[in-house]
Amino acid sequence: MRTALLLLGYAAVLGALVPARLARADWTRRAPRLAILAWQALTATVLVSVVLGGLALAVPTLPVSGNLADMLHACVLALRAQYAAPGGAAVAAAGTTVALLLVGRTGCCLAGALWRARRERTRHARALALVGSARPDLGVTVLEDERPAAYCLPGHGHRIVLTSAALAALAPHELRAVIAHERAHIRQRHHLVLAWAEALERAFGRLAPFRTAAEQTRHLVELAADDAATTRCDPLTLAGALVGLAGARAAGAPTASLAASGGHAAARVRRLLGPHRPLRRGVAWAGALAAGAVLALPFALAVQPAVATAGMATCPLHEAPVSAPAPSPVELRD
């Protein structure tokens, strides 16, 4: 029970205190990739803590020593003690049910999000094969549309799509900046990052931590792609390209695509026009280690009772009674 309370309390504290502070933190705009990792670690930790807490209510901890028969006997004693306690069966059933429901709902929402996104991208790729035209010199597919837009279809067979209006509106160096931005989305697997965040939002959207995490992640992946693009072009060039695109979206573009003009374009332009202040490498590494520690702590809490009692022999071994030694032939003759 103590382990379950620690895990559930840990999840409650993280979910109540951290999301609002993390959303307001200034460093997340300076290191968007680290911020994405922090949000993923936070949401995964809250979910894992609740699941492990539910399982801890159903699994009694009892140190065992001896042979297989003693271990099985100890397991019977442990189950009997668990279910004989007042409310033991109800608490164990509730914990198991909660854990299974959380895992099942998360898995279903994640699998559904990945399947729907893949289906949309596949359908759109087939349409592009019919109505789009390839530009090998740019490595993109051009779609006839009067609105300037640029987006990518990530995943298997990924491609970058520009509308004809975007080609006409953007200068060559701005086109290169936009293409670099879209390639960063593909290279950094942002579609998988968004699939995880949006699956948790769909599964537990009434809870603020998961809703805030999805909103922040949609913005942060655009910042991360901007940072990757500015290693190949001038930030002012990318800012001008975003202004030229002006939030337009091509007709028929799937929701599973990643558009260069998405993710609060005005705030991104202001960031690109401002001074570039990345986090120091040591601070970034410390943040990554902290995110890993936050995610590892629930597992440490869950296994701590078993580790603490690993060498204890609290289950008595049932030894056969010692019989008197048989008399020797000499004693019989005497």
- Condensed to tens digits (0 to 9), the pLDDT of residues 64-113 reads 445 555 555 555 555 555 444 445 667 677 777 888 888 999 899 999 98
Beta bridge partners of 134: 141
Query: Dihedrals φ, ψ of 22, to 5°?
Result: -65, -35
Structure pTM? 0.81
Measured distance CA(117)–CA(154) in Å, rounded: 10
SS (H, E, C) 230-249: CCCCCHHHHHHHHHHHCCCC
Integer Cα distance of 321 and 334 in angstroms: 28
What DSSP string describes 117-185? HHHHHHHHHHHHHHH-EEETTTTEEEE--SS--EEEE-STT-EEEEEHHHHHHS-HHHHHHHHHHHHHH
Candidates 182, 172, 174, 186; CA nearest to 250 is 182
pLDDT tens by residue, 134-184:
888 888 889 888 888 888 888 777 889 998 888 888 899 999 999 999 999
CB 195 within 8 A of CB 106: no
* Mean pLDDT, rounded, for 304-331: 52
Average pLDDT over residues 272-299: 90
Rounded distance between C-alpha atoms, residue 28 and residue 39, angstroms: 10
